[in-house]
Amino acid sequence: MTAPHVQSFYHVATNTWTHVVADPGSKAAAIIDPVLDFDPASGRVWPEQAKIVLAWIRERELRIDWILETHAHADHLTAADWLKRQLTGDSNAAPNGPELKPSPSTMLRTGIGAGIIAVQRHFRDVFALGPEFIADGSQFDHLFAADESFRIGALEARAIATPGHTSDGVSYLIGDAVFVGDTLFAPGGGTGRCDFPGADATLQYRSIKRLYELPDTTRVFLCHDYPAAGVQPVAQTTIAAEKGGNTQLRAETSEAEYVAFRRKRDATLAVPRLLYPSLQVNIRAGRIPNPDAAGRRFLRLPVDAES
């Protein structure tokens, strides 16, 4: 089995890891879970973190075949659309500065699990987007079916459906590495919450147990880490480390124990700070809503007001 080269980039503001996965025998590569910077107080959106990732890719002259999302994130805006436009030389670039030189990518596609359709349908109603928002997943170039195989150069890859944290969760097994989104955190951090619409602790337990069936030496790349002050964030672990030391779900943890724990803990968690902005952008594959006649763009905020 070919072991991919993985370069990880940490976004401090959202505690998010972006990974670039490259075939060591060619220039083929994929970007997983990229981040777009966003300030909710001012409404400013800019690609500082994405430019760091892009510069690293260009320095190595990689050919990006895929930009992959593990799910529709609720805690950061995806930079998938911005990166795709930069890498393919699309003339409709966002007004964040001069257009960067296109890479040799010609077949770049965005991908996410097929469960995104249910997520889109739910949040189309939450945000009252109306029938003009088409909830069929077509904002993405490809929707992965469960266990669908694909390639990145000579690297064999497979999309493993891992619902639970969200209904559209998918993990990508690429060579000897698996990219798990918010399904698993580092052993000391446990697992992702299961209180979002469409989430389910029982499904998450079964998804994680499926991941635990992978070889113990499988490298596990995380989407988030939340280190204590002065501690470096963790980008990767292993299946063996998770099975033996995950603080919330070890190999011997029963389904009933996990579900009871997860439901009790989730009842204490606050709503993510960027929940509404993130989902409005991420169900659109990273596109900011279209401008109005005056060139203004808006994100909606549902209000729960007491009478």
Residue range 182-233, pLDDT digits in tens: 999 999 999 999 999 999 999 999 999 999 999 999 999 999 999 999 999 9
Tell whether 81 is covered by a domain: yes
Tell whether 83 is covered by a domain: yes
Q: What is the pLDDT of residues 38-92, one digit of tens each?
A: 999 999 999 999 999 999 999 999 999 999 999 999 999 999 999 999 999 864 4
Q: Judge whether residue 291 has pLDDT over 50.
A: yes
Asked if 185 and 208 count as a contact pair (C-beta separation under 8 A), the reply is: no
Q: Judge whether residue 96 has pLDDT over 80.
A: no
Tell whether 70 is covered by a domain: yes
Tell whether 142 is covered by a domain: yes
Q: Which domain holds residue 164?
A: 5-269
Strand 35-39 versus strand 77-78 pairing type:
antiparallel
Q: What is the CATH number of the domain that holds 252?
A: 3.60.15.10
Strand 219-221 versus strand 177-179 pairing type:
parallel
How many domains are contained in the chain?
Answer: 1
Tell whether 173 is covered by a domain: yes
Q: Identify the sign of the CA torsion 97, 102, 107, 113.
A: negative
Tell whether 140 is covered by a domain: yes
Tell whether 274 is covered by a domain: no
pLDDT at 128: 96
Asked if 190 and 174 count as a contact pair (C-beta separation under 8 A), the reply is: no
Tell whether 79 is covered by a domain: yes
